[in-house]
Structure 1
């Protein structure tokens, strides 16, 4: 077992998280939503960072005192909870309608992409980003252009 994540790997994982988060956030930005490009980049970057910090703690405890262990899944749980809180904050109820649910979901997905980048699973992160963009752009166009066209 390797004792640490090499610096170049950290840089690649963090940059991948930021870039893929930006790809999700740009759509929200273009639609002039409150949580846009920078928010999604920061959420994804933060999630990747927490995973990398978790790895460092895991490696440090694995080489030292065997009784001092860390469960990496608890870090993921904490990241998910924090991101859920941010996503919930983007949802607004106004005048009998609810707005921001898609933005909240996009924030949650940006966090998942960051987690995937943090563990070095770039294929999963890229697939999730691509599928997310198909959903928000492609289905958004369909929803607003075709389905709600009769309203």
Structure 2
């Protein structure tokens, strides 16, 4: 269910480095318990965005897509990062994974392909949609949609 007062912010990046930079900017703002949803087609930049976020919270490990493991945990930063890829849950099965324990935990949760677990999501989160543009190979449109006051504050800070 969408909030009537939810605002969207759209920006354009023209390289993977700019996608990482935006992730890094968000990483400086996230707090324990934050939930970031990353949606977009294969190759849209979801994991690239997550790499930038991870670096800015002090995670130096090689962040890669958790497609086959579902969740990768990183604990060496200023707060834990729980990177999830729920693409394989398209046909269900997420109810038994205890994802709410991550969402309510002491770290930041980043979920790729969140549409496959929409019924398990809390009411507040930041949804980031990455879309390829047709004109340039590395150009992406990134749309941020805050659900809840805390996430609107994050979006407002990113705009500054």
TM-score by length of 2: 0.27
TM-score by length of 1: 0.28
**Higher radius of gyration, 1 or 2:** 1
